[in-house]
Every structure is written in structure tokens, then in C-alpha cells.
Amino acid sequence: MARAEIEWDPSNPFDPGPCISVVVMNSPEFIEAGRAVGLEFPAPHPVQALLDTGAAVTVISKTFARFCKLRQTSAGTELRVLGSKYLAGEHAGAISFPGTELRTFDLIRIVSADFEKEPNYACLIGRDIMRHWDIRFDGRSKRVTIID
Amino acid sequence: MAAVDPFSVELRVFERHRREWSRSHRGEYVVIQGDVIAEGFFDSYAEAFRAGLRKFGARHEFLVKQVWPTEPVYFVS
């Protein structure tokens, strides 16, 4: 059983929420197949991701999806954010959690959208991933515990 | 030259079959490249992507689409 702990102070207005470091990249089998036909892939690069129970799906910034050369598998997916509609791309990717023993998701659908003026994170971990975890928040110690 | 919408051809193919597939393969995944539909339907996104990679290779993009009668809207709050 893997476990990770992160800090979150909901009383601090400058705390963006519970964030965890993630590496998003193409799936191992796609990288292997791509390299065999001459495609190149960037080195893995960790970014911050917000644990977002309000997100139905995992979302990364379009800028970061382009940086990762994440293989796109659909377009025009509708996201609704506070009543506003956004059209998003869909990608096949892998998500890992460096510095923890949480298991890697080797091949999942990841939605990409514009993260406007968002300096704190480039990814939202949605309920499609969180449904695999036991997540507990202790408000007194200001710690979020993820048990995989 | 105007930019071509990504997957516009594949999404048109999907729309032509949506009603029929929604009856027989609701919630399953289908893989399309151009007007070529990969054989079979798949229970998961990962299975569908792997099937597309086997059939179409890594060089060209292919559409992976879950079959629903109407397009789902994903809420992010």
C-alpha cells in the first residue's frame, strides 16, 4: 500500500489548494513505437498538479501538452467551468508521482485546456484518477494523505 | 491557407455512425483514422489506444472516441 502526504492550508488565501508533483508524458508503448519510426520525445519534466475533486477528468494545460508532445486522440471535448464552456483536446498519456510510491497511470485519457493566468499548477488531477485512491484531509494538521 | 480542424474527418465518420453504435456499443470506445474504422469496439480507452497504435502506427494521429448518444460535458469547478 503506497502513501503520500501533502500540505494544504485552506485558511491561507494564497495557498492554491492541495498540490502534488506529477510527471506527464506519453505512454511507454507509444514512446517505444514512436522512437522506432524516428519520433523524438522530451525528457520528463515534473510540474505541480492540483487535487481537484470538482474536476470530472484530469486536465493539463495546452501549453504543457504541446511541450510534452502528448499524442492527441480527440478534439472538441466540452468542459464546463463555472458555467463557461471550453473546447478541449484529448490525449493519451501517462502520469506518475515522483518522490512518492503512488502507482503510475501508464495509459489514460488526459484532457488539455488553456490555463489562463494560473502560476501555481499546470495540471488538475480529476476524479478519474482520484477514484483509485483513499484521500483524507486533516484540517487541524493541514495535511492531505493519499493512500493508494 | 485555413487551418484544418484536428480530427474533423474522423469526427464526421463518427457522427455518421453515432446513432447506430449508441444502440449496440454504448459506452465502448472506437478508433478511427481518416475514414478507416479499426475493427472492433473496446471496453477501455487504454485498450482502444493500444489497438489504434497496432493498426495505424505511431506516425499518424488517430481518433479514440467513446460512444454515447450525445456528447458528454465534463464539469470542472
pLDDT at site B4: 63
Percent residues over pLDDT 90 in chain A: 94
ipTM of the complex: 0.93
Q: What is the CA radius of gyration of chain B?
A: 13
Q: What's the pLDDT tens digit per position in B37-58?
A: 999 999 999 999 999 999 999 9
Residues of B in contact with A73 (CB under 8 A): 49, 52, 61-64
Closest CA relative to residue A77, chosen from B61, B28, B68: B68
Instruction: Indicate the burial class of B62 (C-beta count within 10 angstroms; 0-12, 13-18, 19 or more).
Output: buried
Contacts of B15 (CB under 8 A, 6+ apart): none
Determine, for residues A81 and B63 on separate chains, whether the beta-carbon distance falls below 8 Å. no
Residues of B in contact with A17 (CB under 8 A): none
Asked if residue B1 has pLDDT above 70, the reply is no
Residues of A in contact with B6 (CB under 8 A): 72, 75, 89
Strands, E assignment, chain B:
29-33, 36-37, 63-66, 73-76
pLDDT at site A25: 97
- Counting one residue from A and one from B, how many pairs have CB atoms under 8 Å apart? 89
A55 DSSP 8-state letter = B
Residues of A in contact with B76 (CB under 8 A): 52, 54-57, 59, 79-81, 124, 126
Q: Which residues of A touch B (CB under 8 A)?
A: 27, 29-30, 33-34, 36-37, 39, 52, 54-57, 59, 71-82, 88-90, 92, 106-109, 111, 124, 126
* Shortest CA gap B6–chain A (Å): 7
Q: What's the pLDDT tens digit per position in A10-50?
A: 999 999 999 999 999 999 999 999 999 999 999 999 999 99
Q: Which residues of B touch A (CB under 8 A)?
A: 5-7, 11, 45-46, 49-50, 52-53, 57-59, 61-65, 71-77
Instruction: Indicate the burial class of B19 (C-beta count within 10 angstroms; 0-12, 13-18, 19 or more).
Output: exposed
Asked if residue B2 has pLDDT above 70, the reply is no
